[in-house]
Amino acid sequence: MMKKRLKTIENYSRILPLFSFVAILLLFGSCKKYLDAKPEKSIQIPKTITDLQALLDYADDMNNIGAAALEVCSDDYYLPDNIWNALTSVTRKNLYIWERDVFNDNLNPGDWAATYIPVYKSNVVLEGLGKLERVSSNATEYDQIKGAALLYRSRSFLEALQIWALPYDHNSAHNTLGVPLRLGSDFNEVSVRSSIRQCYDQVIADLKKAAILLPVTPQHVMRPSRPAAYGLLARTYLMMQDYGNAGLYADSCLQLKNTLIDYNVLNSTAAFPFPRFNAEVIFSTTIIPQNNSANGRIDSILYQSYSENDLRKKLYFKAFTAVTGGGFGFKGSYYAANNLFNGIATDEMLLIRAESRARKGFGSEALEDLNTLLVKRYATGKFVPYTLTNTADVLGLILTERRKELLFRGLRWADLKRLNKESRFKITLKRNLNGNVFELLPDDQKYALAIPSSVIELSGIPQN
């Protein structure tokens, strides 16, 4: 079945060049000077249910996202001086040390374009469905395609918010700039930045509609599903510090899928120990890696926090030789490749539900979730379940294990942003580089990265 799906994608590949081209243009708002560009006559325009599904199945655009900044800026790794010095991209150098002008490779909007292309294609699909009649013979497929398009669009908006918007604050979200909400495919429509509240409201509305339309069990985890929609809702509410709803939707997700891998059955000597599309994966998306996963060294304090009986210490990390500078790198992607898995998985949902329970004062239930996860992460017979009684200690433990379990999934940056809203969890990030120390303070405006200057010049939207 999967081979047939991939063949369908191949058959409709002629649709994609025009859409990718137009999508990049729309990211800059109204671009009249591009309207003279004539598409090739041979390019197909999507007109059927099959066409629209093929657009969503093109994983290079829809499942592989370009939000590398979420990892490049975070604190789970560091770059040795010689590796940073050898970087050819000024953008990647600046991202690492949190320089204000991070996206100054002016002709390459990079993460911005890769984040918004799925938005454009999702809008094309939604508009295409609006031109087709929903009848009994196509109702199931029609609904699933609509749900998938809504999920892809909302997921991209959520990623954009983590990169280019400040953390959600209930007191100021209504008048703080978020990101452009592109809800149609007309690339002549001028881009504007909606408020953070409007952006999160849109993400939640899309995901709630998607959850109703999507199947419980997808044809493949590369396609969206109802558990995936619930998982993204849980992640969204977590980023909003709405921990009650985060826990409720994590629970809804786990009611439909709650499988965990026993890490004892995995081969720690393998280059990539985790099978792609493994039993924990609910929805598979990845971040295209930059310098961090290939050459980054794991923060030494973080590495030492794993006990010897914790199987993640060998499954997640690889040792660099002395010739290459020593230290440890990351090999634990759930995508079984250098691409960094950042989709929805059952371990993240357990941790969200555990955190929600701890924050609501249900410490024993929170520990039950955490112990359920960790017993699958330790060598057989070596894990001693936690029995803490102080709820504050339980929450601290869950957040520690969240970082240890979910590193390099594009979540740490968002966690820093939300946790910096609480005085007990504030952290100052530091980079030691070429004898200099660079710092990012907890409430720094740089947590909303600068928008690429090429986007600003062409669209006129306000810069961070």
**Could you list the residue range(s) of the whole structural domain that residue 16 is in?**
2-262+425-451
CA distance 266 to 420: 36
Is the residue at 295 inside a domain?
Answer: no
The values of phi and psi at residue 220, to 5°, are -155, 150
Establish if 64 belongs to a structural domain: yes
Task: Evaluate whether residue 107 is within a structural domain.
Answer: yes
Confidence (pLDDT) at 91: 80
Encode 193-205: b = buried (16+ Cβ within 10 Å), e = exposed: bbbbbebbebbbe
Within a domain: 414: no
Bridge partners for 287 per DSSP:
65, 340
Whichever domain contains 436, its CATH number is 1.25.40.390
Q: Is residue 273 classed as helix, strand or coil in its secondary structure?
A: coil
Strand 286-287 versus strand 340-341 pairing type: antiparallel
Under 8 Å between Cβ of 106 and 453: yes
Contact in structure between 350 and 251 (CB atoms under 8 Å)? no
Do 374 and 306 meet the contact criterion of CB atoms below 8 Å apart?
no
- CA distance linking residue 321 with residue 249, whole number of Å: 44
Asked if 138 and 191 touch (Cβ cutoff 8 Å), the reply is no
Helix-strand-coil split of the chain, %, nearest 5: 50, 10, 40
Residue 23 lies in a domain: yes
Q: What is the model's pLDDT at position 6?
A: 40
pLDDT of residue 5: 44
Count of domains in the chain? Answer: 1
Q: Measured between alpha carbons, how far is 161 from 199 in angstroms, rounded to an integer?
A: 8
Please state whether beta strands 436-440 and 429-433 pair in parallel, antiparallel, or not at all (unpaired).
antiparallel
Is residue 110 assigned to a domain? yes
DSSP 452: P
Q: Residue-wise pLDDT tens for the chain (464 aa)?
A: 444 444 443 344 344 444 444 444 444 444 433 333 334 444 467 889 999 999 999 999 999 876 678 888 999 999 999 999 988 878 888 889 998 776 655 445 578 888 999 999 999 999 999 999 999 999 999 999 999 999 999 999 999 999 999 999 999 999 999 999 999 998 788 889 999 999 999 999 999 999 999 999 999 999 999 999 999 999 999 999 999 999 999 999 999 999 999 999 999 999 999 999 999 999 999 987 765 556 889 999 999 999 999 999 999 999 998 888 889 999 999 999 888 999 999 999 999 999 999 999 999 999 999 999 999 999 999 999 999 999 999 999 999 999 999 999 999 999 999 999 999 999 999 999 999 999 999 999 999 998 888 888 888 999 98
User: Cβ distance 456 to 175 under 8 Å?
Assistant: no
Residue 88 lies in a domain: yes
Task: Judge whether 332 lies within some domain.
Answer: no
For the chain, helix (H) and strand (E) counts, in that order, are 20, 13
Q: Report the residue count for the chain.
A: 464
Instruction: Give the bridge partners for 298, in sequence order.
Output: 77
Inter-CA distances, 177 with 159, 270, 459, Å = 15, 45, 15
Q: How far is CA 271 from the centre of its chain?
A: 23
Residue whose structure tokens are 């961090």: 292
* Residue 234 and residue 411 in contact, taking contact as beta carbons nearer than 8 Å: no
By CB neighbour count within 10 A (0-12 exposed, 13-18 middle, 19+ buried), where does 49 fall? middle
Distance CA 386, CA 72 (A): 33
Count CA atoms within 13 Å of residue 386 on its CB side. Answer: 23
